[in-house]
Each structure stands twice: as C-alpha cells, then as structure tokens.
Amino acid sequence: MPPPKVLYGFHAVGVRLRTAPATVLEVHVDAARRDARMRQFVQRAAAAGAKIVDSDDAQLTRLAGHPRHQGVAARVTPLPQIHSLDDLLDAVQGPPLVLALDGVTDPHNLGACLRVADGAGVHAVIAPKDHAVGLNATVAKVASGAAETVPYLMVTNLARSLAELKERSIRVVGMADDAAQTLWEGDLAGPLALVLGAEGHGMRQLTRRTCDALVRIPMKGAVESLNVSVAAGICLYEAVRRRG
C-alpha cells in the first residue's frame, strides 16, 4: 500500500472529506484558532467521521512542509490512480475535453491549471513525465480541491499521446503566440485537446508539430504573454462556450 500523503488548507482537505472521507486518516487543526470558519470546518470533519487532532502552528508547518496551511492539515491515503488515458476516455459521455500541459514545472501554475480545468469540466489533464511537476501538497493547496477531482496523467511521450488522441478523432489545438489564427477563429467545437506550453518557452517543437492547428490569444496591451493558468482559463472557457 502506498504511504500516506499530506493535504493542507481548508479547500484541499474539505474536498477530500466530502469526496472520499474513508481515505482521511486524521485531520490536524490549529488549537489556537476558533473562528467561525474553523468551527464549521471541524464540525464537517467530525460529521465525516474523521479523527481530529489539536495541533499548534509549528506542528502544522512541519506536517504540511509549508507555513501557509491555514491551520488545517490532513494525513490521507492516496486515491487510486488512473493509469490509462484510453480507459478514462472510454468512460467519457459526450465529446471529450482534454488539457495538455507541456513543460509546466511550477506547482503553483499546475495547481491553478487544475482548478480551472475542474471548473471547465475537463475530463483529463496530461503532461510529460520528464518536463512537468507531479502532484504534491503545494499543487493540492493551490488547486483548492481540484487535484482530487481532475485526473492528472503523466505520460512517457506527450507527442505520442496527442497522436493517439487524434486517432480517436479528438482535435488537437495548440496555443502559440505566433499563430496566424486567433482563439476566436479556431475550431474548438467537438472532441478537443488544448495544448499549452510553459510561460516564456511555449510548447516544444515536437509537441507543436503534432497539433492539428495553432491559435493565439489576442493581446491588446504591452505584455506579450499571459500566465499559463490564465491562458488555460481563457481557452478552456471559450471551448466550453463553443460546445454549448
């Protein structure tokens, strides 16, 4: 059995308590914090059957590995991982929507992308094993629970995985600052995989060549690019709008 992992922050721990309470081994809370938000959280944790442990700030920081724990941390057993993109897509009802991230190595950016993906109803987020950050406590905190709800698959070869999506008639559209078409002009209807690269570097060349089409977000001001999670939000919700 995999070793327990740690989640911290109200949202990340709260989503696990709501979606998989049996996996929560214990919830540590700051004994000095008794404001309304903490009282409500403790009540929900108790109602979910969680073991509640009073701790102090130093203990919580040690457990979370980060001082921004909001007074809440939990030891949990890992959720079962989905290892096959094929199995996941076989279970999707309606046109699939996939987000591919090429070279996103910052946990804050990944967490924010997962949060946007959850809101947009993305069926899976994929990333290459050798050019991406994995799921960790920081990602889970920033994702505000979305790391628990959005499948995140790290693949050996991103270009090959995108080619396999194309074999399923899923259109692969990459975001590139130098694309001739704008996002508003691109074909985003139907089964779709949106591909975004890391801010500054963009997609790798092989990933770019695998795309069916490239589009860009129109930029009206002085800045040349957007943070990858902001760009993901704009692109995904435009795709959602097109899908009706």
pLDDT in tens, 171-189: 999 999 999 999 999 999 9
> Of 76, 102, 119, which one is at a domain's C-terminal end?
76
Q: Looking at the structure, do residues 93 and 190 belong to the same domain, yes or no?
A: yes
Quick: pLDDT tens for 45-68: 999 999 999 999 999 999 988 888
Q: Which of 169, 186, 179, 191 is nearest to 235 (CA)?
A: 186
pTM of full prediction above 0.85: no
Would you state the pLDDT for residue 212? Answer: 97
Q: Looking at the structure, do residues 71 and 90 belong to the same domain, yes or no?
A: no
Would you state the pLDDT for residue 83? Answer: 64
Low-confidence stretches of the chain (pLDDT < 50) are none
CATH number of the domain encompassing residue 29: 3.30.1330.30
Residue with tokens 């194309």: 166
> Of 59, 76, 93, which one is at a domain's C-terminal end?
76
> Of 23, 50, 76, which one is at a domain's C-terminal end?
76
Would you state the pLDDT for residue 11? Answer: 85
CA dist 35 and 121 (Å) reads 33
CA dist 75 and 171 (Å) reads 40
Q: Looking at the structure, do residues 72 and 95 belong to the same domain, yes or no?
A: no
Q: Looking at the structure, do residues 143 and 220 belong to the same domain, yes or no?
A: yes
CA dist 180 and 151 (Å) reads 32
Print the domain residue range for 170: 85-243
Q: Looking at the structure, do residues 61 and 29 belong to the same domain, yes or no?
A: yes
Q: Looking at the structure, do residues 63 and 183 belong to the same domain, yes or no?
A: no
Would you state the pLDDT for residue 217? Answer: 94
Q: Looking at the structure, do residues 173 and 199 belong to the same domain, yes or no?
A: yes
| Count of domains forming the chain | 2
- How many beta carbons lie within 10 A of that of residue 139, not counting itself? 23
The H or E element spanning position 197 is: strand 192-197
Q: Looking at the structure, do residues 72 and 181 belong to the same domain, yes or no?
A: no
CATH number of the domain encompassing residue 105: 3.40.1280.10
Q: Looking at the structure, do residues 67 and 89 belong to the same domain, yes or no?
A: no
